[in-house]
A and B are shown apart, each in its own frame.
Chain A
């Protein structure tokens, strides 16, 4: 059992990292597109009212002020508030928010478990009465993130399931996969809650399990805790097949599309990229398009009068 648990855990973590990386690289390697930004653009100086550098006469002669960090902080803040949802659909937010918090915390919980286990390898005891402050901080942080994530995640999963079934707007577009995801996440979170409450109230077993993974001295855990570990691992394998990548692609979409206001300066790297794209052959077949010619060739005709 312990070998199975260890292999499954190694596999699922490697799998999700690999899948996310492949997806992210694929996304980033897509060709530069035409500009299609939407204001406000957060790195703009006049972002408060949505102003852009086009508000200046001879804008190309001015230095553009860009504050990329502002955009990053804006997106980060959105993760923790989900403001748009709060504004537009409060009842949805009441479930969506705990569900998201459940995810954020369960990931934090696992990261803390990992680092906690590393600390344990270095001889630090993790408990409420540890000699080391680090040990005490890890203890409470792991306990807090774990328990809160199990509770909020389970609550959110049930709430969202109900909402998707009964909200007319959402129902029409809900798929069996949506329902499956909510049920699955509910089981994952509730199994964590069960394991904590009935089997491992200090989560020490879980930390030992992680220590075993790091030191390759795998340990057996009680059935309830093992069930949660298995379920969570399966969930990690399932995630790349859902739209969960949106945690990452959201950043890409805002930076690479919605806020992409980079002008094409003569002689720039961007211009060279665009020239290469214009040299590609196209195969559209409407009558006004010459199939088999390049983008550049397509648009040459008709010549000017003079």
Chain B
């Protein structure tokens, strides 16, 4: 396949067959262990632009007329031009230009990319493929290089609607894990290029996956949470959690909400309230046991740490980051602490740091070091014997490679889990769960199949390898993933391959393990119930 094939009309640019994928270890080492990615229906193919790899993450409707197509091409180009200006894109201009201009195409980065490797090295998933297309378009259509210069720099490419539609989808075949960037000796960041391509589509053309934009950031700003939980519903959920805590532990805990002047405003990914309430309950149990002065917020956006803008749109990102800071300012808390959500960590503490100025620049930290402080300094009584099962740790990219929180979670696990074992590689060299950059919440058509079979494949391989000596379903095992999105992805990934049934590998967060080890809780906190 040649790079310029991206603009050539064909039913599908590549076809992914199960036999091409990277092999998996036992018990998935048989030819029939891999479910084939579902084919799109004819109706879906007729309605949406699906000629990239037969998978749809965004599902862009086909333009009805030639004029509409032309208009979209023009918009794409104007968006690309804006991406390269200081006013419109000061936020990422320097890293973007660096990555566009200084890649020497040595391809060293390729094998670091879990998607590329897992797919059986499909050309279009190569980390350098998307950037190369963008470079060629810039050279030909924005810099308007001469024909000779285009030939010499290999920049000849035809910009048409086929290319644009495929590129939009392709920007959503990269998890922004930035493993490729970590390995690049020249500091080039191909993950960033996917991010920037997504911005052209969102910020100029209004094209983004529904789960990220419409039912993501837009809903969060309007209704209060990306899950659709409105402030009133939150109050009910909190009271439900209080009841559940009492039922599980016998402890009567009043979860503080909107407590003015608290030391800590705890921000959870609101997905936890619905999918894993035990995580937020464990936080409440631990914080109360340690006597911390903390609160949740019931203000719009203030109870959802999610910030999907970080993956596709700088403006949506900034709006949400500002809301979070305003909520903290109004509550007059001393600091914001972010719960087990990797992208919320990165969004709030790192990226938003250069948007929050003046009195909105409220101190923000991760809850993980705070938990490590409680555990390591014996501020709560724990019995490691209660966590005596094989356990491994998944490092969420956002929290680890992208912001350097590596040791505190390990300190906790080493202290309270006698059978803790690392997966390889781990720490800042970890592999993405496969649900990064919004994938975990994107449920469009057959995209979930792709994300389990391909983007999550290396993670599955790692987990299975780590537990190979205890892989029998007779032994319960635990993957600790201190991130909501990672947990969502691991849930879907394990479901797709029936990992719970075949290997008895459970997944959950970090605080559940701490609560499970607390000596003053009689029953085990972890219930090993698959959900």
Binding site for B on A (CB under 8 A): 27, 30-41, 44, 46, 49-60, 78, 82, 84-85, 88-89, 92, 96, 169-170, 172-178, 180, 243, 245-246, 249-250, 252-254, 256-258, 261, 263-264, 266, 270-271, 274-275, 277-278, 280-289, 295, 298-302, 304-306
Which A residues lie within 8 Å of B128 (CB)?
173
Q: How far is the CA of A180 from the CA of B151 in the complex (A)?
A: 12
Which B residues lie within 8 Å of A298 (CB)?
315, 318-319
Which B residues lie within 8 Å of A170 (CB)?
105-107
Q: How far is the CA of A84 from the CA of B187 in the complex (A)?
A: 12
Interchain Cβ contacts under 8 Å between A and B, 21 examples: A27-B97, A31-B90, A33-B91, A33-B94, A34-B355, A39-B400, A39-B401, A55-B369, A55-B408, A89-B106, A89-B107, A92-B106, A177-B152, A250-B185, A253-B102, A257-B189, A284-B82, A284-B203, A299-B318, A299-B355, A304-B299
Q: How far is the CA of A52 from the CA of B353 in the complex (A)?
A: 15
* Interface membership of B361, Cβ < 8 A: yes
Q: How far is the CA of A70 from the CA of B316 in the complex (A)?
A: 38
Also in contact, A253 and B187, with CB within 8 A (given A35-B351, A49-B406): yes
9 closest Cβ pairs, A-B complex: A52-B404, A253-B187, A175-B154, A50-B428, A31-B90, A39-B404, A173-B105, A30-B94, A286-B206
Q: How far is the CA of A54 from the CA of B353 in the complex (A)?
A: 13
Which of A46, A58, A253, A256 has the most chain B CB atoms closer than 10 A to its own CB? A253
* Interface membership of B123, Cβ < 8 A: yes
CB interface residues, B 401-451, toward A, < 8 Å: 401-408, 427-428
B96-110 to A contact mask, C-beta < 8 Å, 1/0: 011001111111101
- Chain B contact surface mostly: helix
Contact of B322 with A299 in the complex, beta carbons under 8 Å: yes
Q: Closest chain A residue to B408 by CB distance?
A: A55
Also in contact, A51 and B350, with CB within 8 A (given A33-B92, A299-B318): no
Q: How far is the CA of A30 from the CA of B96 in the complex (A)?
A: 11
Residue in A33, A35, A278, A289 whose beta carbon sits within 8 Å of that of B203 in the complex: A289
* Interface membership of B132, Cβ < 8 A: yes
Contact of A257 with B370 in the complex, beta carbons under 8 Å: no
| Total interface residues in chain B, CB < 8 Å | 95
Contact of B221 with A302 in the complex, beta carbons under 8 Å: yes
Binding site for A on B (CB under 8 A): 2-3, 75, 78-79, 82, 86-88, 90-95, 97-98, 101-108, 110-111, 123, 128, 132, 151-155, 178, 181-189, 192, 202-206, 218, 221-222, 231, 299-300, 313, 315-316, 318-319, 322-323, 326-327, 330, 335, 349-351, 353-358, 361, 363, 365-366, 369-370, 373, 400-408, 427-428
Which B residues lie within 8 Å of A53 (CB)?
404
Whole-angstrom distance between the Cβ of B427 and the nearest chain A Cβ: 6
Contact of B108 with A50 in the complex, beta carbons under 8 Å: no
Contact of A50 with B404 in the complex, beta carbons under 8 Å: yes
- Known A-B contacts: A34-B355, A170-B105, A243-B103. Give 19 more (CB < 8 A): A39-B401, A39-B402, A39-B403, A40-B428, A49-B406, A52-B404, A54-B405, A57-B370, A88-B183, A170-B106, A173-B107, A175-B155, A246-B186, A249-B101, A250-B102, A252-B98, A285-B78, A286-B203, A288-B313
Contact of B102 with A249 in the complex, beta carbons under 8 Å: yes
